[in-house]
């Protein structure tokens, strides 16, 4: 998995663990976050989406189904968990 550059976004918090989120890294494209893009909290691995104002929102049922078996998301969650185990 090739990661892109870090993009700063509007400061907000993870919907699960409340860690501050003010940046995102593109997994598939080299662009900054757009409304509707899925993201994963680097602290807890929670999957969320960017809202129209680029804060976080919960996934819709349709989005949940779409990302349930997404290999890139699964790989990213595994990498987050492995990094946390090493700390």
Q: What are phi and psi of 85, to 5 degrees?
A: -65, -35
Within 1-87, strands assigned E span 6-13, 20-25, 38-40, 47-50, 56-57
b/e map 28-63, b = 16+ CB within 10 Å: eeeebbeeebbbbbbebbbbbbbeeebebbeeeeeb
Strands 47-50 and 56-57: antiparallel
Q: What is the pLDDT of residue 72?
A: 85
- pLDDT given for residue 2 in this prediction: 45
Query: Tell me, what's the pLDDT at 3?
Result: 54
pLDDT given for residue 1 in this prediction: 42
Note the pLDDT tens digit of each residue in 27-83: 666 677 889 999 999 888 899 999 999 999 999 999 999 998 889 888 888 888 888
């Amino acid at each position: 998995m090739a990661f892109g550059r870090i993009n700063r976004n509007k400061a907000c918090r993870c919907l699960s663990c409340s860690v501050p989120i003010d940046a995102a890294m593109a997994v598939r494209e080299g662009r900054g976050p757009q409304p509707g893009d899925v993201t994963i909290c680097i602290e807890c691995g929670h999957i969320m989406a960017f809202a129209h104002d680029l804060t976080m929102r919960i996934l819709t049922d349709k989005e949940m189904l779409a990302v349930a078996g997404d290999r890139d998301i699964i790989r990213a969650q595994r990498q987050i968990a492995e990094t946390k185990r090493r700390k």
